[in-house]
A and B are shown apart, each in its own frame.
Chain A
Amino acid sequence: MKPAAASRLGRWGVIALPYLWLTIFFLVPFLIVLKISFSNVQLSMPPVEPVLTWGQDHVMQLRLHFSNFAFVFGDRLYIEAFLDSLLIAAVSTVIALLIGYPMAYGIARAPGAWRNVLFLLVVLPFFTSFLLRVYAWMGLLGRAGPVNGLLLKLGLIHEPLQLLQTEFAVYLGMVYSYLPFMVLPLYSAIEKLDLTLLEAAADLGCRPTKAFFTVTLPLTREGIFAGCLLVFIPAVGEYVIPALLGGPDTLMIGRVVWDEFFGNRDWPVASALAIVLLVLLSGFVLLLQYVQSREREA
C-alpha cells in the first residue's frame, strides 16, 4: 500500500472507531427510546408492543401511539415534577454560583503554592464517591444527628427538627454535590483574567467594587455560563439526591422516570418522560457545547 493511502486509511480509522462506538451506544439508543415512547404496554418481555409490524399481505404497519405523551402532559403529577425539577435545579445553580464564585476567585488569587493546594482540595471531593458524599448528609441531618444536636445545645430549638426527607435537604445535597463543577470552570476563567486591566481601572480611579462588576465579572462570563450549565443540566434529572435526602413529596423527574420504569414497569411512559426531558435539556446542552468550543478556540 502506498504511504498516502495508508495514511488516509489510518485517518479514517481514527475517526471512525470512536464515532461508530458513540453512534451505536449513544445515538441509536435514543432512537429506540423515541420508538418505545410511541408504543403501548404489553405483558411480555420486553413489556412493549412492537411499533413496526408486518401485516398479513406483507405490508409494513407503523402504529404510533401518542397516548403516552397525552398521558404525560395530561397528568398534573408529571407537569409538577418537571416544574419542580427545573425550579430546584435553577435555585441550586444560583446558590452554587454565589458560593462558588468567591471561592474560585480566592483560589485564583491565592499565592502560588497555596493555589495548587486549594485547587486539589476542590478536586478531591469530586474523586470521592458521589453516593457516599450524599449519604454523609443522611447522618448529619438525622433526628439524632449532629446538626440537630448543635441547634439543641445552642438553645435555638427545643426538639429535633425534621431535616431529612425535606426539600431543604435536597437543595443542600444538590449545592454540595455540584459545587466542584461550578468552581472549576470559574477558576480557570478567573485565572486567565489579565490583572493589568484591573490595575488600569484602579489607576483611572475606579473603585474595586465597580471594577469587579464592570471588568472582572463580564470577562469571566464564559466561566459563569459553563459552570451554571454543568450544574443545571445534570441537576434537572438528578435521581440519587432526591431518592436519599428528599421526602415522598419531592417528586423530581429523574425519580419519576426511575419509578415508572422499575416500579410500574411502564417502559413507554418512562420513555416518553425521558424524551420530554431530553427535548427540554437539549437547548442547554447545545449552549454548553457552544460555550466550550469557543473557550477551546480562545
Chain B
Amino acid sequence: MHDRRSWFVLSMLCFGFAFLYVPILSMVVYSFNASRLVTVWDSAHSPTLAWYVELFHNSEIMEAARLSFRIASVNATGAVILGTLAAFALERYRRFRGRGLFSLLTTAPMVLPEVITGLSLLLLFVVLEPLIGARGATTITIAHMTFSMAYAIVVIQARLATVDRSLEEAAMDLGARPWKVFAVITLPLIAPAIASAWVLSFILSWDDIVITSFVSGPGSTTLPQYVFSKVRLGVSPDINALATILVLIVSVAVIVAGTYMMRRDQRRIRDAQVALGAGG
C-alpha cells in the first residue's frame, strides 16, 4: 500500500519537473540549430553559434538590454529601501492607525492582474505629466518599484520575524539610539534577506512586460518589450539564444546562492552539535 503511494508521488515529481524543464531545455537546444525554421533541426550545419553572434551584433537588443539593466538596478535598490521600512513597520510596530489598509496595499500589487495596475499607473502618470515629465525610464522605474516593493516586504518581513528581539532590547537598554540599534544589530541580521529581496526585485523588473508597456513612452524600449514585439510575429532563433544566456546566468546565480545557503545550514548544525557535545 505504502509502496504504491510513494510510486505515485515519485512519478508525479518526475512528470512535474519534466513539465517545468522541457520547454526551457528546448530553447537551449534550438538556440544551436542552424535552421531559420527554429524547430526543424538542420543536422548538416548544427550545432552552430551563429545566432549568438547575431544577437551580440544586434544593437537594438543590446540597447534594450542596457536600459532594462539600468531600470532593474535602480528599481531593486529603491524597492529594498522602501520594503525594509515597510517590513519594519508591519513587524515591529504591531499597532498603528491605518495598519489594515497598509497591509492590504502591500499585498495587493503582488496578485492584482498586471493590466489593472498598468492601466491605473498610466492614468496617474498622465495626470502627473506636468510634474514628472513625459513617460519613459523614470515612470517605468516608479511602476516597477511599486510592485517589486510588495515582494521585498514579504522576504524581509519573514526574516525580521525570526530575529531575536532580546538582542535589540539589550542594545536599547545599554543606551543605544533606535537608529544605531537598527544599523548595528538588526541590519546585519536581516542582510541575507535584503540581498535576496534585491535580486528578486531586479528580476521582477527585468522580466516585466505588461505594466512596462502601459507606462513606457516612445524611445524607451526595454528588453521584454523588444522580445514581445518580436515573438508576436512567431518563433525566432536569436530569441532562443537570448533565452539560453539568461537561463545560464540565472541557473549559475541560483546554484551559487543555493550551495551557500546549504553550507551555512550544515555549518550551523555542526556548530550546534559541537556546542551540545561540549555542554554534555
Contacts from A to B (Cβ < 8 Å): 3, 6-7, 10-11, 13-15, 17-19, 21-30, 32-33, 36, 46, 99-100, 102-103, 105-107, 109, 113, 116-118, 120-125, 127-133, 135-140, 142, 144-146, 149, 176, 179-180, 183, 207-209, 229-230, 233-234, 236-240, 243-244, 254, 257-258, 261-262, 267, 270-271, 274, 277-278, 281, 285-286, 288-289, 292-293, 296
Neighbouring A residues of B126 by C-beta, 8 Å:
46
Per the CB 8 Å criterion, the residue count for chain B at the interface is 93
Q: For chain A, what secondary structure do more than half of its interface residues adopt (helix, strand, loop), or is it mixed?
A: helix
B231/A135 in contact, CB under 8 A? yes
B115/A239 in contact, CB under 8 A? yes
What is the bound-complex CA distance between A258 and B19, given in angstroms? 30
**CB < 8 Å neighbour of B123 from A29, A230, A258:** A29
What's the count of A-B pairs with C-beta under 8 Å?
Answer: 267
B26/A129 in contact, CB under 8 A? no
A10/B13 in contact, CB under 8 A? no
A107, chain B: closest CB distance, angstroms: 7
Query: CB within 8 Å of A: which of B105-161?
Result: 105-109, 111-117, 119-121, 123-124, 126-127, 142-143, 145-146, 149, 157, 161
Contacts from B to A (Cβ < 8 Å): 1-2, 5, 8-10, 12-13, 15-17, 19-24, 26-27, 30, 37-40, 82-83, 85-86, 88-89, 93, 96, 98, 102-109, 111-117, 119-121, 123-124, 126-127, 142-143, 145-146, 149, 157, 161, 177-179, 203, 206-207, 209-210, 213-214, 224, 227-228, 231-232, 234-235, 239-240, 242-243, 246-247, 250-251, 253-255, 258, 261-262
Neighbouring B residues of A237 by C-beta, 8 Å:
112-116
B16/A127 in contact, CB under 8 A? no
- Knowing A135-B231, A139-B39 touch, does A274 contact B119 (C-beta < 8 A)? yes
B13/A278 in contact, CB under 8 A? no
B224/A14 in contact, CB under 8 A? no
A254/B115 in contact, CB under 8 A? yes
**CB < 8 Å neighbour of B224 from A102, A129, A146, A278:** A129
A106/B209 in contact, CB under 8 A? no
A28/B124 in contact, CB under 8 A? yes
B109/A132 in contact, CB under 8 A? no
A15/B96 in contact, CB under 8 A? yes
Q: Which of A36, A103, A254, A286 has the most CB of B within 10 A?
A: A103
B107/A127 in contact, CB under 8 A? no
* Besides A130-B209, A131-B209, A257-B119, 4 other A-B contacts (C-beta < 8 A): A26-B146, A29-B121, A137-B23, A139-B39
Chain A: which residue is nearest B1 at the CB level? A208
